[in-house]
């Protein structure tokens, strides 16, 4: 993003820079409904949008998308800015642009989160910030839940829901040599090579059984039925099921 010269068809290297006096004059014209002055003011502040979206360059989002969203925040700032307050336009506009970009990232993120859960999460973040300003320390989950008057479990679920997903290639340790990544710490105990080989061996061994023996083993070990339930289903005695089951397992052990 930092080396991108053209974004959304705009040559960023040729963007104009307005002085404070020029901005004040243009704002007076904007108040009078001068649309050309409004367009000039927007173009004169596009560098502000660029500086803001640089903060989100590591999120993997398309720079053009972020730039367009940032421009929406800029336009909202222009439409709501009050020149009588006595602050610079950039001071007012930057939080508006950041808020618009964050809203876009939140709504278009890789993990979809319900609106109600998002609302709880951002209420919790605001309550946390307020608590830190008053007490100079971070609140516990219980204290946040008490402040929001909701169960603490809801606070935990909501904050977890808006947390950014971690890449499997995120380094977790580096001692100057080869780095250890998240994927190195994640272990799949189910789909291992040994389990695959075991499943292949079992499937091959079952090929040597009769159809009745396969059916009995399927009911017993894959569907979790008792010998009595199997006997009732296939119309033989429980003793016969037991005998056939033992015979089938003994036969399979020759090939496993």
- Cβ count near 224 (within 10 Å): 8
Pairing of strands 171-173, 10-11: unpaired
CA distance linking residue 105 with residue 53, whole number of Å: 12
CA distance linking residue 167 with residue 181, whole number of Å: 9
Nearest one of 82, 114, 109 to 96, comparing CA atoms:
82
* pLDDT one digit per residue (tens) for the chain, 256 residues: 445 567 777 777 778 888 888 888 888 898 888 899 889 998 888 888 888 888 877 766 778 888 888 899 899 888 888 877 777 888 888 888 888 888 787 666 555 556 777 788 888 888 888 888 888 888 898 898 998 999 888 888 888 776 666 566 666 555 555 666 666 666 556 555 556 667 778 888 888 889 999 999 989 888 888 999 999 999 999 999 999 999 988 888 887 7
Residue 144 contacts residue 156 (beta carbons within 8 Å): no
Write down the residue that tokens 């989100």 correspond to.
56
Question: Model's pTM, two decimal places?
Answer: 0.43
Residue 5 contacts residue 15 (beta carbons within 8 Å): no
Nearest one of 14, 21, 88, 79 to 46, comparing CA atoms:
14
For residue range 128-170, list pLDDT tens digits in order.
888 888 888 888 988 989 989 998 888 888 887 766 665 666 6
For residue range 181-190, list pLDDT tens digits in order.
666 666 556 5
Cα–Cα distances in Å, from 235 out to 210, 213, 230?
17, 14, 8
CA distance linking residue 121 with residue 115, whole number of Å: 10
CA distance linking residue 120 with residue 123, whole number of Å: 5
The structural domains of the chain, ordered by start, are 6-107 (1.20.120.1810), 115-168 (1.10.10.10), 193-253 (1.10.10.10)
Nearest one of 208, 204, 185, 186 to 196, comparing CA atoms:
204
Nearest one of 159, 158, 154, 127 to 143, comparing CA atoms:
127
Residue 205 contacts residue 197 (beta carbons within 8 Å): no
Q: Which residues, other chains included, contact 230 with Cβ-Cβ below 8 Å and sequence gap of 6+?
A: 216, 219, 220, 241
């Amino acid at each position: 993003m930092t080396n991108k010269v053209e974004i959304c068809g705009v040559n960023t290297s040729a963007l104009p820079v307005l002085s404070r006096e020029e901005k004040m004059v243009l704002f007076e014209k904007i108040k009078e409904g001068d649309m050309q002055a409004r367009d000039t003011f927007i173009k004169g502040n596009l560098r502000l949008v660029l500086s803001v979206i640089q903060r989100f360059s590591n999120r993997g989002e398309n720079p053009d998308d972020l730039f367009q969203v940032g421009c929406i925040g800029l336009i909202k700032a222009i439409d709501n800015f009050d020149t009588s307050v006595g602050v610079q336009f950039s001071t007012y506009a930057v939080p508006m642009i950041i808020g618009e970009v964050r809203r876009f990232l939140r709504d278009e993120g890789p993990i979809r989160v319900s609106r109600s859960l998002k609302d709880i999460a951002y209420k919790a973040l605001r309550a946390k910030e307020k608590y830190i300003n008053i007490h100079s320390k971070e609140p516990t989950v219980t204290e946040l839940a008490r402040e929001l008057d909701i169960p603490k479990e809801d606070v935990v679920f909501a904050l977890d829901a808006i947390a950014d997903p971690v890449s499997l290639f995120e380094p977790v340790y580096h001692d100057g040599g080869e780095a250890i990544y998240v994927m190195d710490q994640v272990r799949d105990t189910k789909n291992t090579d040994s389990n695959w080989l075991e499943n292949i061996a079992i499937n091959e061994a079952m090929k040597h059984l009769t159809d009745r023996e396969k059916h009995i083993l399927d009911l017993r070990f894959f569907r979790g039925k008792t010998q009595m339930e199997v006997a009732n289903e296939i119309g033989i005695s429980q003793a016969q099921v037991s005998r056939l089951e033992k015979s089938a397992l003994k036969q399979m052990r020759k090939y496993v």
